[in-house]
Amino acid sequence: MDVRVANVRKEFDRFPALRDVSLDIKSGELIALLGPSGSGKTTLLRLIAGLERPTRGTIYFGDEDASNKTIQERNVGFVFQHYALFRHMTVADNIGFGLKVRPSNKRPTKAEIRARASELLDLVQLSGLEKRYPAQLSGGQRQRVALARAMAIEPRVLLLDEPFGALDAQVRRELRRWLREIHDATGHTTVFVTHDQEEALELADRVVVMSQGRIEQVGTADEVYDHPNSPFVYGFIGESSSLPVKIEDGQVWIADRPIGLSTPNVPNGEATLYFRPHHVELLDECNGCIAGTVAASRRVAGTRRVELEIGGGRERVEIELPVGHPATQKSRVTFRPNRWKVFPKVVE
């Protein structure tokens, strides 16, 4: 089921949690909403589900306008952040709930519901736990039950709010791979919320980066990582260093000298240079480069990271050096970014 969010705004007591958000979700896609806490991810997910109504804008399911449909009519599977399992029901009853409450002409028989529940338990690899109560399950097991329960109603769209947020790192990684497998096996259109970029980049077909109620960028993991289109995305996804620079006639200047980077499309004036710590080229002699002195150094797995003071200590950037590089404290290092981007300073 294609889902289209068109110019949606959502206010809570005048506070805009979402401002003019538009997003196309393709049928069968696994998409991640990624952003810091409070950026509006849950709100967007709840709007798609029908748990909230947009203040403005429209939500389409396929070609039909679903904005005014109730959550029951939308037929979505929603996995809540804290699972919201029914604690007085067994695992099997939890999973069968959505079938049991169907109107009598569409309701499967008890035996069919039971069979469907154990089929889904197989799928989420929990067979044999039918009779347990939620309180007798581990966090990861509850998460799987919640997903099985949401899938039991054969939803048109599957929505998951921070599905692994409450689990420890080891279980998270396992479930992540497992969710991808389930998605590939069942082909549900799936949207999940996360504030963990590693999770989003590894799992999703496309990542929607959100900040302060807006969508900053939509793209594959490669696109948002390699071609961030805003300072926010540069800073939020992966590691990045930034330096205040000046643009003059398409040349990037730091203080009073050009550093050998040209950017013809950026207008003259103040701007900020962004690059990743490992996208640098070390230079021996400097005619047009960035020069700094080592202020701190640390070992990160197979590489070494140094913090450089630029321009007499006013700015600091981090770059990556080969482990064997001779630079020590106070050494002078000269380099030039080989992949980078300049964003003009936004006038507030």
Ligand X SMILES: Nc1ncnc2c1ncn2[C@@H]1O[C@H](COP(=O)(O)OP(=O)(O)O)[C@@H](O)[C@H]1O
Binding site for another protein (CB under 8 A): 49, 51, 70-72, 75-78, 80, 82, 84-88, 97-98, 101-102, 133, 135-139, 149-150, 152-153
Spatial strand order in the sheet of 269-275: 257-262, 251-254, 241-248, 269-275, 340-344
* Residue 72 interacting partner from ligand X, another protein, Mg ion, none (CB closer than 5 to 8 Å by kind): another protein
Comparing CB distances to another protein, the nearer of 61 and 78 is 78
**36 to 55: interface string for Mg ion, x by CB under 5 A:** ------x-------------
* Contact predicate 167/81, CB 8 Å: no
Residue 158 partner contact from another protein, ligand X, Mg ion, none using kind-dependent CB cut-offs of 5 to 8 Å = none
Least Å distance between CB 280 and another protein? Answer: 42
Question: 114 in helix, strand or coil?
Answer: helix
Nearest residue to Mg ion, by Cβ distance, number only: 42
Q: Which is nearer to Mg ion, 96 or 163 (CB)?
A: 163
CB of 49 to ligand X, least distance (A): 12
Least CB distance to another protein at residue 16 (A): 18
Percentage helix, strand, coil for the chain under 3-state DSSP, each rounded to 5: 25, 35, 40
Which phi and psi angles does 28 have, rounded to 5°?
Answer: 80, 0
Q: How far is the CB of 98 from another protein (least distance, A)?
A: 4
71 versus 323: smaller Cβ distance to another protein: 71
Query: Does the protein bind ligand X through residue 139 (CB under 6 A)?
Result: no
Question: By C-alpha distance, which of 110, 192, 210 is closest to 143?
Answer: 192
d(C-alpha 34, C-alpha 237), whole Å: 10
Count of residues of this chain found to bind ligand X when the rule CB under 6 A is applied: 11
Residue 206 contacts which entry, another protein, ligand X, Mg ion, none (Cβ below 5-8 A, type-dependent)? none
H or E element in which residue 312 lies: none
Q: Where are the beta strands (DSSP E) in the chain?
A: 3-12, 15-25, 30-34, 56-61, 64-65, 76-79, 157-161, 189-194, 206-211, 214-219, 241-248, 251-254, 257-262, 269-275, 280-282, 290-300, 303-310, 315-321, 332-337, 340-344
- Which positions ≥6 away from 234 have C-beta within 8 Å? 228, 240, 242, 274, 341, 343
Tokens of 88: 């007085």
* Residue 14 is a binding residue for ligand X (CB under 6 A): no
The amino acid at residue 229 is N
Residue 35 interacts with which of ligand X, another protein, Mg ion, none, CB < 5 to 8 Å by class: ligand X
- What are the phi and psi torsion angles at 289 (to 5°)? -165, 180
Distance separating the N- and C-terminal Cα atoms of the chain: 40
CA distances from 134 to 108, 146, 150, 167 (A): 24, 10, 15, 15
Rounded Cα distance, 149 and 162, in Å: 17
38 binds, among ligand X, Mg ion, another protein, none (CB under 5 to 8 A by kind): ligand X
Is 158 or 306 the residue whose CB approaches another protein more closely?
158
Q: Which residues within the stretch 55-114 sit at the binding site for ligand X (CB under 6 A)?
A: none
Binding mask 28-57 for ligand X (x = CB under 6 A): -------x-xxxxxxx--------------
Q: How far is the CB of 250 from Mg ion (least distance, A)?
A: 42
Q: Which does 138 bind (CB under 5 to 8 A by kind): ligand X, another protein, Mg ion, none?
A: another protein
CB of 146 to Mg ion, least distance (A): 16
- Give least dist CB 88 to another protein, A: 4
**Is 194 one of the binding residues for Mg ion (CB under 5 A)?**
no
How far are the Cα atoms of 48, 302, 305 from residue 299, in angstroms, in the given order? 44, 8, 6
**Between 193 and 224, whose beta carbon lies closer to another protein?**
193
Question: Where along the sequence are the contacts to ligand X (CB under 6 A)?
Answer: 12, 15, 17, 35, 37-43
Which residues make up the interface to Mg ion (CB under 5 A)? 42
